[in-house]
Structure 1
Amino acid sequence: MRDASAQELLLLSALQECRIQLDAARMDQARRDAVRGDLEDALRREAALKDELVRERERTEAVRLVLRAFAASVGRFGLRRRLFLSRIARLGRETPDAGPQAARHQVLLEEARHVLGAPLPAEAAPESRR
């Protein structure tokens, strides 16, 4: 009987050790899952920030294009409005309607109106800019 009790104690001890290791493995798996989730969130945020960066670059390029059109439309007697408007219209036609470059359209409109001193219509006015 004594051998059976000792063997039972060894088995119980081994079983307890296995449970401890299983609990530790489950905790490690939970931590890995949490880290994986955090990593996936960070990758999504990175992709969104890259997209925003591309849009901001296109907006900046649109402002540069308006400034070039303005500079090319200024003559001895001031701004030649028709020439400026035709340059802006051409830039609008040349700008794609889809993709990142499509962000230029709104900026071309806003900045051209700003140069001409025309107010933006209420429905086209930009919401709060960052």
Structure 2
Amino acid sequence: MRDASAQELLLLSALQECRIQLDAARKDEAARAAVREELEAALRREAALSAVVAEERERTEAVRLVLQALLMSIGWFGLRRRLFRSRIARLGRETPDSGPQSARHSVLLAEARRVLGAPVVQPPAQR
């Protein structure tokens, strides 16, 4: 009898230890799942921010191109408006219509109008 109750105690103890380990494993898996979700959210935020940075970089490049066109269009008697407009038109034609570089179009138009003294049309709202 003693052997049977000692074995039962050992089995109950082992069973209790297995339950504790199973609970710990479930908690670890839940923690891993939470960390995995946080990581995926961070990766999505990083991708969105990378797109915003790329678009802002292209907008900055567009301002630089307008300034360069302005400098190249200044002659002895001031700004040669026709030359400036043709340079801006060429830059607009060379700019792609899709992708991050397409953000240059609205900036080229707005800044060229500002240089020429025309009313500036507000670019479309940012996403």
Do the two structures share a fold, i.e. TM-score over 0.5?
Answer: yes
SS of the residue 1:6 aligns to:
helix
TM-score normalised by the chain length of structure 1: 0.87
**Separation (CA, whole Å) in 2 of partners of 1:96 and 1:125:** 17
Identity %: 75
Aligned to 2:80: 80
Amino acid at match of 1:48: A
Contact 2:73 2:84 in 1 (8 A): yes
- Kept in 1, the 8 Å contact 2:106–2:123? The answer is no
C-alpha displacement of 1:126? 5.1
Q: Where in structure 1 do 4 or more consecutive aligned residues deviate above 6 Å? A: none
In the alignment of these two chains, the number of paired residues is 126
Local SS of the residue matching 2:84: helix
Separation in 1, partners of 2:125, 2:58: 19
CA apart distance, 1:21: 0.1
2-structure distance, mates of 1:107, 1:30 = 48
Residue 22 of structure 1 corresponds to which residue in structure 2? 22
The answer on whether the counterparts of 2:66 and 2:111 sit within 8 Å (CA) in structure 1 is yes
* 1:94 Cα deviation after fit: 0.8
The correspondence of residues 1-130 of structure 1 with structure 2, limited to 5 A, is 1-121=1-121, 124-125=122-123, 127=125
- Alpha carbons of structure 1 residues 94 and 125: separation in structure 2 relative to 1, 3 Å: closer
* Cα deviation digits, residues 101-121 of structure 1 (max 9, x gap): 111111101111111122233
Opposite residue 102 of structure 1, the aligned amino acid is S
Counterpart AA for 1:94: E
Pairwise CA distance, 1:127? 4.4
Output the TM-score relative to the length of structure 2.
0.89
Report how far residue 60 of structure 1 moved: 1.1
Structure 1 CA distance for aligned equivalents of residues 12 and 49 of structure 2: 55
